Structure 1
Amino acid sequence: MQMSLTDSHSSDDEVPADLQLLTSYLFDRSHSDAPAFTFLDHASDREGIERTVTWAGLAERVRAVAVELSRVTSRGQRVAILAPQDLTYVVAFLGALHAGTVAVPLFAPEGSQHTGRLVHVLSDCAPEVWLTSLDALEKVRALAENDSVPRPKHIIAVNDPAQPDGDFTAPDIGLDEPAYLQYTSGSTRDPAGAVITHRAVVANSWQAAAAYRATTDWTVVGWLPFFHDMGLIQQLAAPVFAGCRSVFMTPFDFVKRPVRWLRAMSGRAAVMSSAPNFAFEYVSRKTSEADRAGLDLSGVRVLIIGSEPVRAGTIAEFQRMFGPHGLAATALRPSYGLAEATVFVTATDDAGPVVTAFERAALAGHRGVPVGPGTSGALELVAAGRPVGLSVRVVHPERLVALPDGTVGEIWVDGPNVADGYWQQPERSAETFGARHGDAPGRWLRTGDLGMIHDGLLYVTGRLKDLIIIDGRNHYPQDIEATVCDAHPAIRRDGVAAFPVHDEHGVEGAAVVAEYRRGGDVDEAEVSRAVRRAVSTAHDVKLRGLELVPVGALLRTSSGKVARSATKQHHWGRG
């Protein structure tokens, strides 16, 4: 039985009442010599050396870290994970949970690219202990000397933790106690730490496993960073919960040679993986015919496409390119989630992607009017699927009433996977997590995302804070961004930010910052004319500002999303 988005929890989709702590599922398998996590080490070998830990080995190492933490800090204290993306990270995160401390998933400091994020997060939650690896220890100690960062009491390299004492007993941790702080990507505000309880992480792991029907014989393959919500749940927590093997590499190794992701999936049976929309476009652009030769993707059951907007053209091109290598069209699964819901909210079922064309003018008026494919003035949207074990409603953001199907409003979520709030931000927490509408029971999460329900499926249309309103008509920035991407071949895909700006009289208009590839016979004036003409034709909008920047210059969040608010602030101030 499939659950209606506007209904309460369906009994068939109810999260089980007998959930355990995430680490309990690990220790239930502590006598198994089956492989648990495999790190593909491309730094040591171009093709990747497999470094594997068994369930038994992982349990032993996790227990050792928990013992060490119990010696230097107390239950409930924050513990920052500043480790590289290898087996150390898995051990450190699970060890922090097992000790009853509150993990803060971050990353090892590398240069200055994301030092600002580390400084912000560490200052916000002031962890007493930092966990890292021997390889990263020197850089982590250097970060501790930064005057803007609260100095930790202890820095521990978990590669060689103390051996656990025989009389060590894990603390009696309640499911409703905090497990970790998941800091948001900061695409619209400064990053905030969503308080994820032990119940939320195991509930969301169950929801993900149930949505995709994952079992112990599946293999999760990926490269997403563990400090990001999708990477942490899909590649670490859900495999521990479901007891399936996780094979992973670093994001850097994927970006350097994206074919590595495909080769890690090739030839395996019952594979599940996940990535944002831009990664699928990146793979399609950056893999050659020689790269694709010999790939066998027939064992790929699920490829989760997250991070709005999921584009119909991206799905079609990826399937066109890799279908001949055994990839089933139904394996591509658009989804929707956010850190404040741990990550998972909705998923496409095994029927595969659903793409619907809607009248663009009607969407400007918050109505979803489906039209035939290829209709002039239509906008194709990709369905994000249905929820499992939680409720989703579309609500008028000002009147706070549930809206009928086919009407665009704010997406609200209620379920055991919803975070408890933001770390030490009671007002913002009440605003985001304490929402109520009509006589509906429950504590609803206001996602800040806009969407609608059509034919029982959720369609995400954009962000409430990013909406551009010109002459009373609503324009979604990702819609304008897609037009700009298609306006000229020199514009980089996923390298465009559109946002509202105001003139001296407060009248709203639209501005765009776009990355473009210089060189050849292309000049900036030609690209600029093509962009302005395309936006005017498709949206009846005259851009108030357009700035073309070199590839790589656009401001992004730590998870790779275009940071519209930061880009606007950088290029146009508060205008």
Structure 2
Amino acid sequence: MTPLLDRVAIWAGTKPDAAAYTFVDYLADPGGPTVVCTWGEVHRRSIRLAQRLRRVVAPGDRVAVLAPSGLDYVLAMYASWYAGAIAVPLFAPGLPGHTERLAATYADCDPAGVVTVAAHAADVHDFVAGRAAVLVADADDEPDTGWRPGSVGRDDVAYLQYSSGSTRAPAGVEITHGNLTANVTQLCETLTGNRPHFTGVNWLPLFHDMGLLASVAVPMRAGTDAVLFDPAAFLMQPVRWLRLLSGRPDAYTAAPNFAYDYCLRRLEEGDLDGLDLSGVFLWLNGAEPVRAATLDRFTTQLAPAGLAPRAMCPAYGLAEATVYVAGHGIDHPPRKVAFDRDRLAAGRAVRATADSDRSVLVSCGPPAGQRVAVVDPESGSTLPDGRVGEIWVNGPNVTRRYWRRDDPGLFGDLGGYRWLRTGDLGTLVGGELYVTGRLKDLLIVAGRNHYPQDVEETVREAAPALGRTAAFAVLIDGEERAVVVAERSRSRLDVEWQPTEIVRAVRQAVWRRHDLALHDLVLAEPGAVPRTTSGKVSRTGCRARYLAGTWQRAASDA
């Protein structure tokens, strides 16, 4: 299997003038001026930047990319690999709500080099403060010395993918060149049908795993092109996403479930006029739970623009498996199954009858070039089809470890082989994967992961008068929302109880540190938060009481 990086030279040699990456800069001009980078330019400019990097980094050193999404971001990733370094896709300082996360992640990866762009160079220099060499990607004044990169090894680490959720203890997933090549191959063979040409249109941040794979890596394998634009431009006018997809004969895109709902909410009368989405063969929906109602609304509202229901593709994946684990192939309408809610809660996926309460789950399809098992998380034994357990994954796309961190719970043993323990709950029915929940209480809100213990610590730091705290997610109008329950501390009754100020401080701290808006904050009396038999806070119990509406509030979050 040819490493992805080696393919770039092939495309540069066989079709140097063909478009590789196009960036539509709505932030510079609402009209959307475009900048095109051909395969020849990608190869040439990446080599020049790699030459500069080699003066300040050694093979195996980390190179942090502190820049906004754009062509220079793509070139920085390529150049890091050409230089034999480990790329760390991050973002420019100053991104709202991400300051502490960036500082913690930067310290964890400890880069020898940093790549940014001229517009952010001053801020990056201030942030780095002399700890690493800073290179400006768009200062393309390096002469060609004739140096050419060698081949990379499949076991060499290509990049560190940091979780979007944890700021206290950042975990960088080591993705090797072998992992990357394997996963992009799995994705392309399953989801594109190995079309000879297709165009990706994406706005996802390039420091997110799905954005990096869909926008950067897929074109590397296929020699096709991608059209990119900034996430902020999508948030301002999501119809731009649809307009860039319109009229393309073979196009694909990818986004989390919340983005499809957000796009629909922001559509205005006349936005669909003149749009032709019939050429979009793949709308990948992943990175968070896929909602049946979202699929129905999106296909119904965009049907007048030619959207084909069979092009909607629910998928499952996670950073520890590079990104992609399971998904239906092309031309396969989403499968939605109504299961008996009570029996599903008891661990058995049984189809609902006419008189039973039901939970409608969306199939994420069969595993793609890898193995998936559903395992009893307590005994470690494999469960049969139709039983709910922890999802385990085994394949060439699975990471070896976290960067500089031992996590004995990351892997389990099945038949003498090492399997990734995802922490997600699900079931296999007819060879297809249905995800039912999260074993480890991970919050996934608006496409981002948040570890509850991190949020809980932030709450307690923001309000010393609070004691036991639980953070969890609830489903509101088809979307996961974050809720915090916190009791007044018995040991800090001397601290003045000011509920209004506590609510303000907690909401502000959680937003600033985690970029997370709380749907609700319940302030309870001392001792009200339920605990397990071992004395730990029961998030499950807190969530159940919240859904039942039985919390007696010590103060109102108004």
What TM-score, normalized to structure 2? 0.81
Structure 2 residue ranges without an equivalent (≥5): 444-470, 482-516, 523-527
CA-CA distance at 1:504 after TM superposition:
9.8
For the residue of structure 2 that corresponds to 1:135, the secondary structure is helix
Instruction: Trace 1:479-490 onto structure 2 (pairs within 5 A).
Output: 480-481=475-476
CA contact (8 A) 1:40 1:50 kept: yes
Deviations 1:333-389 (A, max 9, x none): 0000101011000012221211001111112211111114x7541111111111221
CA contact (8 A) 1:78 1:101 kept: yes
Partner of 1:490: none
Partner of 2:245: 265
CA-CA distance at 1:43 after TM superposition:
1.9
Cα 1:236/1:202, change in 2 over 3 Å: same
Deviations 1:392-413 (A, max 9, x none): 1011111001000111101000
Q: Which amino acid aligns with 2:429?
A: H
Is residue 2:101 matched to residue 1:117? yes
CA-CA distance at 1:418 after TM superposition:
0.7
For the residue of structure 2 that corresponds to 1:39, the secondary structure is strand
Q: Measure the CA separation in 2 of the matches of 1:544 and 1:497.
A: 14
CA contact (8 A) 1:481 1:496 kept: no
CA contact (8 A) 2:371 2:394 kept: yes
Partner of 2:425: 450
CA contact (8 A) 1:510 1:543 kept: no
Q: Which amino acid aligns with 2:229?
A: M
Deviations 1:35-69 (A, max 9, x none): 10000110232131111100111110111111111
CA-CA distance at 1:186 after TM superposition:
1.9
Is residue 2:160 matched to residue 1:181? yes
Partner of 1:278: 258
Q: Which amino acid aligns with 2:389?
A: G
Instruction: Trace 1:161-180 onto structure 2 (pairs within 5 A).
Output: 161-163=140-142, 165-180=144-159
Of 192, 200, 204, 1:220 maps to 200
Q: Which amino acid aligns with 2:255?
A: A
Q: Which amino acid aligns with 2:61?
A: Q
CA-CA distance at 1:70 after TM superposition:
1.2
Of 289, 314, 327, 1:347 maps to 327
CA contact (8 A) 2:367 2:432 kept: no
CA contact (8 A) 2:311 2:333 kept: yes
Partner of 2:171: 192
Partner of 2:341: 360
CA contact (8 A) 1:188 1:465 kept: no
Partner of 2:413: 436
Deviations 1:82-130 (A, max 9, x none): 1111100000011101111000000111255201111011111110100
Q: Measure the CA separation in 1 of the matches of 2:383 and 2:104.
A: 38
Q: Measure the CA separation in 2 of the matches of 1:498 and 1:335.
A: 32
Q: Measure the CA separation in 2 of the matches of 1:497 and 1:99.
A: 48
Partner of 1:51: 35
For the residue of structure 2 that corresponds to 1:370, the secondary structure is coil
CA contact (8 A) 1:478 1:498 kept: no
Partner of 2:124: 140
Q: Measure the CA separation in 2 of the matches of 1:546 and 1:457.
A: 46
CA-CA distance at 1:190 after TM superposition:
3.6
For the residue of structure 2 that corresponds to 1:436, the secondary structure is strand
Root mean square deviation, CA, Å: 2.8
Cα 1:94/1:485, change in 2 over 3 Å: closer
Q: Measure the CA separation in 2 of the matches of 1:436 and 1:341.
A: 16
Q: Which amino acid aligns with 2:342?
A: A
Partner of 2:77: 93
Cα 1:189/1:129, change in 2 over 3 Å: closer
Q: Measure the CA separation in 2 of the matches of 1:44 and 1:484.
A: 32
Deviations 1:434-458 (A, max 9, x none): x203xx2432111111100112210
CA-CA distance at 1:484 after TM superposition:
8.9
Partner of 1:460: 435
Q: Measure the CA separation in 2 of the matches of 1:319 and 1:204.
A: 28
Structure 1 residue ranges without an equivalent (≥5): 1-18, 146-150, 469-475, 487-493, 514-530, 551-575
Q: Measure the CA separation in 1 of the matches of 2:113 and 2:328.
A: 40
Cα 1:353/1:87, change in 2 over 3 Å: same
For the residue of structure 2 that corresponds to 1:220, the secondary structure is strand
Instruction: Trace 1:368-383 onto structure 2 (pairs within 5 A).
Output: 368-372=349-353, 375-383=355-363
CA contact (8 A) 1:63 1:164 kept: no
Q: Which amino acid aligns with 1:60?
A: R
What TM-score, normalized to structure 1? 0.79
When structure 1 is superposed on structure 2, of 403-412 and 361-370 the one drifting more is 361-370
Partner of 2:4: 22
Is residue 2:394 matched to residue 1:394? no
Q: Measure the CA separation in 2 of the matches of 1:118 and 1:105.
A: 11
Deviations 1:147-183 (A, max 9, x none): xxxx433100011245354441314421111011000
Of 127, 132, 135, 1:156 maps to 135
Deviations 1:311-337 (A, max 9, x none): 111010001100111000011000001
Cα 1:504/1:479, change in 2 over 3 Å: closer
Identical pairs, percent: 40
Partner of 1:289: 269
Cα 1:544/1:502, change in 2 over 3 Å: farther
Q: Measure the CA separation in 1 of the matches of 2:404 and 2:159.
A: 14
Cα 1:444/1:51, change in 2 over 3 Å: same
Cα 1:220/1:484, change in 2 over 3 Å: closer
Q: Measure the CA separation in 2 of the matches of 1:402 and 1:75.
A: 41
For the residue of structure 1 that corresponds to 2:12, the secondary structure is coil
CA contact (8 A) 2:173 2:399 kept: yes
Partner of 2:388: 408
Partner of 1:76: 60
CA contact (8 A) 1:77 1:127 kept: yes
